[in-house]
Structure 1
Amino acid sequence: MSVIPGAWRRTAAGAGLLSPQGDVAPTIFAEMSAAAVRTGAINLGQGFPDEDGPHEVLDAARAAIAQGANQYPPGRGIPDLRAAISEHQQRFYGLTADPDTEVLVTAGATEALTATLLALIDGPDDEVVVFEPYYDSYAAAVALAGGRLRTVPLHRPDFQPDLDELSAAVTDRTRVILVNDPHNPTGAVFSPQVQAEVVRLANKHGAIIVTDEVYEHLSFDGPHVPIATLPGAAERTLTVSSAGKTFSVTGWKIGWVHGPAALITAVLTVKQYLTYVNGSPFQPAVAVGLRLPDTYFSDARAALRAKHALLGDALVSAGFEVHAPQGGYFTVADATALGGADAAAFCRTLPERAGVVAIPLTAFVSPQHQGDYAELVRFAACKRIEVLEQAAARLAALRPV
C-alpha cells in the first residue's frame, strides 16, 4: 500500500517523478553518471565544474567556519550577503534592490524558483509559460504547485522562440512567464525583441516574470541584460541567480531572488517551510565573491568561452553538427551524421563507443515534443582543459570514415 497521498501521487506522476509502479523514476542524469563510473568514461553530461573557485571565496568560507558562523543565519540571509547582492545588481545592471525587503537568500536557485512558483500559483487554472527545452526542475515545481505548464518551442539554429507562438501561449490564465537566460540546455541568449515581447505580454495579461539568470556572468557575446532592466518590467519581475556557476561552488547551494517587496515576502512565506535557512559559513564567502574585481568575472567568461571552442572543434571533427552557445556551461550538437537520430539511444552507447558521457536534449523536453529535438545531444564544457582535451581525443574515434 502506498504511503503517498493520492493528490501528491498524481502530482508527482504528472511531473515525471514516479514510475507507473509508484517508484521514484530514475533520471537520464543518474543513468549516465552511473555509466561514466561503470565504464571509466569522461562525464560531460552533468553541469558541474571539476575545479574549485577563487581562493578568496574559499578562504572566506574557511574563516567563517573558524569564527563560528555555524548556526542558523537570519531567515532572509545574513545582512552582508543581502547587501552584496544589492551592490552587485547596482554595479553590473543599474538595478536598485533594498537588501532588507527586496532580497532573499535561498538554498540555490532551484529552491528560489520552487518557492516562487509555490508562492504564486493558486491552482490548476494558473499557467506557467516556459521556453522548451527547459531545465528539468521547472515542470516538477509547477506540478507540485498544482499549476499547468505551457511551453513555447525554441527553434534552431539559434534557439530563439517565434514571437507569434510566444504571444499565443501567454493569455489571461498566465500567472508566470519563466525565462532562463542564458539558457540551459541550449546555450541561447534571448534577443532584445524576445525580451521586450515577454515584458509586453506580462503587462498585457497581468503576469509575473520570473527569470533564472544563474549563467549571468557567462554570456559570451556581450554583457548580460536582465529583463528587470527593461521599461515596465521591474515592478513585476523576480530575478533569480546563484553563486554556484559564477564561482564554481555548485555544492554550496547559495542562491537568491530579488524583486518587489510584496513578491519577496510571498516567496519568503513559502521558503521558510522548505529549507528554512542554509549555508551559514558559505553566505559571507559568497558576499566576498560578489565584490571581486571586474577582472574575475571577465576572466571566468573568457576561460569558459575558450573551453567551448575546444569542445566545439572536437565535436565538429568527430562528425557532429555543433550549435555554438552564446552563454552558459553547455554545447548542443546534432548527432545525425553519426547514427544519432535517436539521441537518447546514442547517448546510452556513447560511453562504450567513445569513453564519453553526454545527455540527450530530450531530457529537457515534454513528451509531446520529443521528436523536435530527438537528434540533439548536450555536452558540458565546464571541465578542466586537460579533461576536455582527453575527451576530444576519445571523440575522434567516432569520426565517420
Structure 2
Amino acid sequence: MFNKIKGTKDFLDLSLFNFLIDQVKKHLSTYNFTEISTPILEPLDLYKRSLGQETDIVSKEMYIIKSESDQEMICLRPEGTASTVRAFVENNINSTPWKVYSCGPMFRHERPQKGRYRQFNQINMEIIGSKSINQDVQLIKMLERFFFDTLSIDNYALLINFLGCPEDRVKFKEIFKDFLENYFEKICSTCKIRKESNILRIFDCKNESCKIIYKEAPRITDHLCQPCQIEWTEIKNNLEYLSVSYTHEPNLVRGLDYYQKTVFEFVSQDLGAQSAFCGGGRYDKLVKEIGAKEDQPSIGAGMGIERILILLERIKDKLAIPLLPPLYVILPLSKEEQSLALIIADELQAIKKAISVDIFLEEDSLKSMMRKANKMGAKFAIIIGSEEKENKVVKLKNMITGKEDILKHKELISIILNN
C-alpha cells in the first residue's frame, strides 16, 4: 500500500473547497480583478532575487529540480507574487493598475502541522502599478468584507504594520542593532545570525524568550520620514472611516524581503500556532528587481485555502453551499435490461436539466441496489425489469416518500423536465 507524501492532503469532498473558490471569484470580480494562471514550475533565481537569500523559503523550504545538464535550475513555486510579477514583466503589460488573481498549489518543504502543508493551495491577489496608499486601504477592506460578510467568519483579528521606505529601514536597522547589543547573549542562535544577515527577519523568530525581548524593541513606525508618516496616518484614518477594526502589530514584518510600507495579516486563534490565514503588503521595488525597466509600486495578498477551510468547517451549516442536483439511479434488474438502461440514462443526461444520473450495472439484487441507492442519497430510483422492458415502461420510485409510478419513457422525461 502507498501512502500520500507527508505534508500533503487528499480532498475527497470538494463541496466546501469549491464553494470557497466560487465565492472568491465572485467577490474579486466585484472589485474588477481578472483571473490569470501561471506555471507551477519557475526559475529558481526568480525567488532568490525576489524573496531574498536569507528568507526561510529560499534558504531551506524550496523544492528544487535540477536538469540533466545542471544548466537550468527550476523549482516548484513557493508563493504567488513573484510568479505574477514575472508574468507582468515578461508579457510587457503596460496597462496599470494591473489587478489580477490566481488560484493554485504552492510548495514549501517545512515541518507539517495543523494548517501547514508542503503542498498547499493559495489564492493570490496583486495590484501592480499603483502608488496610491489608499489602494492598500481598499485591498484590506475588500478582504475584510469577504471574510466577515461573505464567509461569516467572525473569530479573527487584522494585524497591520508600516515598514516605511528603504531609507527608513536603513536608519531603523542601525537603531535596532544598537538595541540588540544589550541582549545579544540572550537571543537565540538564529537571531544572532539574522542580526548580521537580515536584521528585520529577527521579528519572525518563534522562540518565546526572544519574542519577550522584542516586545521592548524600538518601533519602526516611530522612526518614519515625514512622507511615510503621512501615509501611515492616512491608512489608519481611512481604515477607521471604512469601519475596519485592526490592531497595530509593531513587530509584524511578513518575512519576505520585498515588502515595504504596508504589511498586514488576518489571524485566528482557532488555527493554533499557524494563526495567519491571509497576509500581504506593499512591494514598490520588486517589479524592477525582477527585470522591468522601471519600478511599478504594487501591493498584494495571499489567502491560505486550507486554513480558511478549517475556519469554515465549523460554520458550514450557516453557509449557502449549493445543493447537489437530485440523483436519479437506474436499476436494471438483469443484464437483459442494461441496454435499455443505457438508452434512458443517455436521454436523461442529454436534457440539460440540473440532475445527476447513475446506472447500477453490477447485476446485484434489487434489495442490494436499493440499499446502495439510499446510501448514495438518491432522490429517485428508476427500476427496469423484464416486465417493464416488455411493456416499454419504467417504475419511478420516490426514495423519500416511497411512492411508485409506472411511466412510459416519454412521460418519464416530461416529469423530470417539469419537476
TM-score strictly above 0.5: no
Greater share of helix residues, 1 or 2? 1
Higher relative contact order (CA closer than 8 Å, sequence separation 6+): 1
* TM-score (normalizing by structure 2): 0.24
TM-score, normalised by the number of residues in structure 1: 0.25
Question: 1 or 2, which has the higher strand percentage?
Answer: 2
Select the structure of larger CA radius of gyration. Answer: 2
